[in-house]
Copies of this chain bind each other. A is one copy, B any other.
Amino acid sequence: MREHSFITDYLKNPYSSVLSVSGNTKVITALSLDMKVPPHVKSGGWLTAEYSLLPGSTNVRSARERSKISGRTAEIQRLIGRSLRMAVDLEKIPGITMLIDCDVLEADGGTRTASVNGGMLAVAIACRKLADEGIVPENPLKNWIGAISGGVIDGKVVMDLDYEKDSRADTDFNFVFSENGNIIELQGTAERVPLDEGRFFELLKEARICVKDIIAEMKSIAGFTK
């Protein structure tokens, strides 16, 4: 696993913000509050995410998505939003939407998992702040979650793939676990060779260990573990 680090309060203006670093991958996750919820929300609050690559973040320049977003972007930001909604008890933030902006400064593999992790820390900080400031009566944090990618290269399980490894992998999985190791989200594709059960169990096991470490790292950052 590459080194994972987090810089909190990276931006001045958002309600909370984190620079999430995994190896050479760097993602700014910024949380803003919107004091209303989308029409489909009948009770409680909401959390949603947006994801974008800076044009200069990638090897070959990524064109801005100014007339419509790609399917890849849509898929990634839905995964981030779904995962982070499991971190918050939405009933405890009635009428409030948490909007998580994930902007990738440097992309070297694992941008979606770095976004989930940075987003998690931004959510935890925001939840504490909401309660501290009396905007909601109690801290709405429900679960700590963490994410990691993994794949199979030349028959071997490899975690936390950088861009070069990701390009060579036969299979590519993203795992999101809760702190106690339960599954929050799991998405994987055999890109070249169908994946046998044995390798998959190995991937799952390794991923769970990695995520445990990442959550511990995150909690130590902003004084969540005493």
Residues of A within 8 A of B (CB): 11-14, 17, 24, 28, 30, 32, 34, 50, 52, 54-59, 61, 64-72, 74-75, 77-78, 82, 86, 99, 101, 103, 105-106, 143, 171, 173, 177-178, 180-191, 194-197, 200, 204
Contact = CB atoms under 8 A, between A and B. Distances in A.
Contacts of A177: 194
A40 to B, nearest CB: 11
Nearest to A75: B75
A143 B17 contact: no
The 7 residue pairs across chains A and B that have the minimum distance between CB atoms? A30-B56, A182-B194, A74-B74, A71-B74, A14-B56, A32-B61, A183-B195
A162 to B, nearest CB: 12
Contacts of A185: 188-190
Contacts of A69: 66
